């Protein structure tokens, strides 16, 4: 019986550690929000934002008001920045979107085509 209790305690401890490792920090959340804005920019070539929208919606509930406001500001600021960008600035933002943002945007940031044929 003691072995079962110890095994259960170890398993719960491992699950708690895995849950903490999966948590998204406020900084990461704000980075994802910026990436969402870049993805929605018409000037950079709008990408599908359904996946990151779902992620941000899921993560928003656990955030304090100042973080949520900052995320909204990051989204709109990045989108405006992308819409106005040209030349070297546009290339820099496209590089950010396909590099640092690729983890948040999935394959959409790299321009990967999705096969929709059935």
pLDDT score of 108: 54
Boundaries of domain holding 56? 21-103
Q: Does residue 93 form part of some domain?
A: yes
Q: With respect to residue 109, please indicate whether it lies within any of the assigned structural domains.
A: no
User: Is 39 a member of any domain?
Assistant: yes
Q: Is residue 114 part of a domain?
A: no
Task: Reduce the secondary structure of 63-114 to three states and give it as a string.
Answer: CCHHHHHHHHHHHHHHHHHHHHCCHHHHHHHHHHHHCCCHHHHHHHHHCCCC
Amino acid 106: pLDDT: 85
What integer pLDDT is reported at residue 52 of this predicted model?
A: 95
In-domain check, residue 15: no
pLDDT number for residue 22: 62
Over the chain (118 residues), what is each successive 10-residue block's mean pLDDT?
46 38 86 97 95 94 94 97 96 96 75 33
pTM greater than 0.75:
no
Number of domains in the chain: 1
Look at residue 116 and give its three-state secondary structure: coil
Instruction: Tell me if 58 is assigned to some domain.
Output: yes
């Amino acid at each position: 019986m003691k072995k079962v209790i110890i095994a259960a305690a170890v398993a719960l401890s491992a699950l708690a550690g895995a849950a903490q490792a999966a948590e998204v920090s406020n900084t990461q959340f704000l980075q994802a929000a910026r990436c969402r804005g870049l993805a929605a920019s018409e000037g950079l070539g709008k990408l599908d934002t359904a996946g990151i929208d779902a992620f941000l919606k899921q993560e928003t509930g656990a955030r304090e008001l100042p973080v949520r406001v900052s995320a909204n500001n990051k989204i709109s600021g990045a989108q405006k920045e992308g819409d106005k960008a040209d030349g070297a600035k546009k290339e820099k933002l496209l590089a950010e979107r396909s590099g640092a943002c690729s983890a948040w945007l999935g394959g959409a940031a790299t321009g990967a085509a999705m096969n929709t044929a059935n």
